[in-house]
C-alpha cells in the first residue's frame, strides 16, 4: 500500500489554463500535498519555478496559446530538469511521442483520475524521499557525535526535519519550544555551542544553516581518535 504522506515533503507545481479544472483538482491535491503551487500560464509557472524550486510539475499540454511540451523543453534547455507529468484532453500520437522524448513521468488523459495522478507523483518522489531520509539520518548521526543530551537531540531532529535542500532552516526558539519541552536558556546554549563549533551558521532574516563541511571535519576527527 502506497504511503501518500511522503507527498507532503515536496513542492508541486500544477499548470492548467482551465480555471475551473485548476480549482477543482487543486482542492483535491491539497488534501495530499503540503506545498502546492498553481499557475494558469507559462509566465507565472516559470516565475514560481525560479522562486520556489519545485520538485515536480503537473502540466496541461495546451496552456492557452502555449504548448506545455515546448515549455518543458525550454526548461530543460536552460538547465532546469524537473520531473513532470502531462495532462491532456487529447490522445494524439505526436504529443505522446514528444512526451516520451522529454522523459515524462506519465501522460494522463482527462478527465484525470486522482488515484492515477497520486500514483504518478508517488512513483517519481519515492526515490527522492528515500535518499533524503538517508541523508537526514546520516546528518543526524554526525551531529549526535557533537552533542549527546537527549533534549538537544530532539531539537536537532526537528531542525533536520525542517531543513531545505541547502541545509538551511528558519525555526525560532518559540517554534522549537512549542514542539519540545526544553527551556529557552538550554536552547540558546545549544545554538551557541553549535555556532562556536562552526557547525551552525547564522544567516540574515533569522535563518540558520548547517555547515556540512565543518560537521564532516569534526566527525572524521572524532573517529580518528
Question: Does a structural domain hold residue 161?
Answer: yes
Residue 34 has pLDDT above 90, yes or no: no
pLDDT, tens digit, 9 for 90 and up, residues 60-106: 998 877 888 899 999 999 999 999 998 888 766 667 777 877 788 88
- Residue 165's CATH number: 1.10.10.10
Is pLDDT above 90 for 117? Answer: yes
User: Which pLDDT belongs to residue 139?
Assistant: 77
Question: What is the C-alpha to C-alpha distance for residues 1 and 15, in angstroms, rounded to an integer?
Answer: 28
Q: What is the pLDDT of residue 222?
A: 59
Residue 36, domain member (yes or no): yes
Cα angle: 181, vertex 184, 186; to 5 degrees: 85
In terms of domains, do 81 and 186 share one? no
Would you state the pLDDT for residue 224? 45
Q: What b-and-e string marks burial along 54-66, b requiring 16 or more CB atoms within 10 Å of the CB?
A: bbbbbbbbbbeeb
Domain count, the chain: 2
DSSP 206: T
Do 29 and 120 fall within a single domain?
A: yes
Distance (Å, rounded) from C-alpha 199 to C-alpha 55?
A: 28
Classify the C-alpha dihedral 158-162-168-170 as positive or negative: negative
Per-residue model confidence as pLDDT tens digits over 173-199? 999 999 898 899 999 998 998 899 888
Residue 42, in any domain of the structure: yes
Domain span holding position 93: 4-128
CATH number at residue 25: 3.40.50.2300
> Which residues neighbour 1 within 8 Å (Cβ) at sequence distance 6 or greater?
none
* Final residue in a domain of this structure, among 67, 96, 128: 128
* Displacement of CA 175 from its chain's centroid (Å): 21
Distance between CA atoms of 21 and 23, rounded to whole angstroms? 5
β-sheet bridge partners, residue 36: 12
Nearest to 169, CA basis, from 209, 215, 211:
209
Which of the four pLDDT bands, split at 50, 70 and 90, describes residue 54? very high
pLDDT for the residue 83: 93
The candidate with the shortest Cα–Cα distance to 36, out of 20, 46, 19, 22, is: 22
pLDDT, tens only, 140-175: 777 776 665 667 888 888 888 888 878 899 999 999
What is the Cα–Cα distance from 36 to 19, expressed in whole angstroms?
15
Amino acid at each position: 500500500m502506497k504511503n501518500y504522506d511522503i507527498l507532503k515533503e515536496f513542492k508541486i507545481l500544477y499548470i492548467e489554463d482551465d480555471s475551473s479544472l485548476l480549482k477543482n483538482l487543486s482542492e483535491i491535491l491539497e488534501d495530499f500535498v503540503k506545498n502546492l503551487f498553481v499557475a494558469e500560464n507559462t509566465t507565472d509557472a516559470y516565475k514560481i519555478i525560479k522562486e520556489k524550486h519545485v520538485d515536480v510539475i503537473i502540466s496541461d499540454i495546451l496552456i492557452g496559446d502555449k504548448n506545455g511540451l515546448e515549455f518543458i523543453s525550454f526548461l530543460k534547455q536552460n538547465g532546469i530538469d524537473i520531473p513532470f507529468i502531462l495532462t491532456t484532453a487529447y490522445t494524439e500520437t505526436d504529443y505522446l511521442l514528444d512526451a516520451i522524448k522529454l522523459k515524462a513521468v506519465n501522460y494522463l488523459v482527462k478527465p484525470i483520475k486522482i488515484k492515477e495522478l497520486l500514483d504518478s507523483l508517488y512513483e517519481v518522489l519515492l526515490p527522492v524521499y528515500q535518499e533524503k531520509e538517508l541523508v537526514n539520518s546520516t546528518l543526524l548521526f554526525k551531529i549526535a557525535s557533537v552533542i549527546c543530551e537527549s533534549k538537544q537531540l530532539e531539537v536537532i531532529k526537528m531542525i533536520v526535519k525542517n531543513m531545505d535542500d541547502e541545509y538551511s532552516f528558519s525555526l525560532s526558539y518559540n517554534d522549537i519550544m512549542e514542539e519540545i519541552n526544553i527551556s529557552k536558556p538550554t536552547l540558546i546554549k545549544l545554538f551557541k555551542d553549535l555556532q562556536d563549533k562552526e557547525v551552525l551558521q547564522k544567516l540574515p532574516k533569522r535563518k540558520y544553516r548547517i555547515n556540512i563541511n565543518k560537521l564532516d571535519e569534526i566527525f572524521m576527527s572524532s573517529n580518528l581518535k
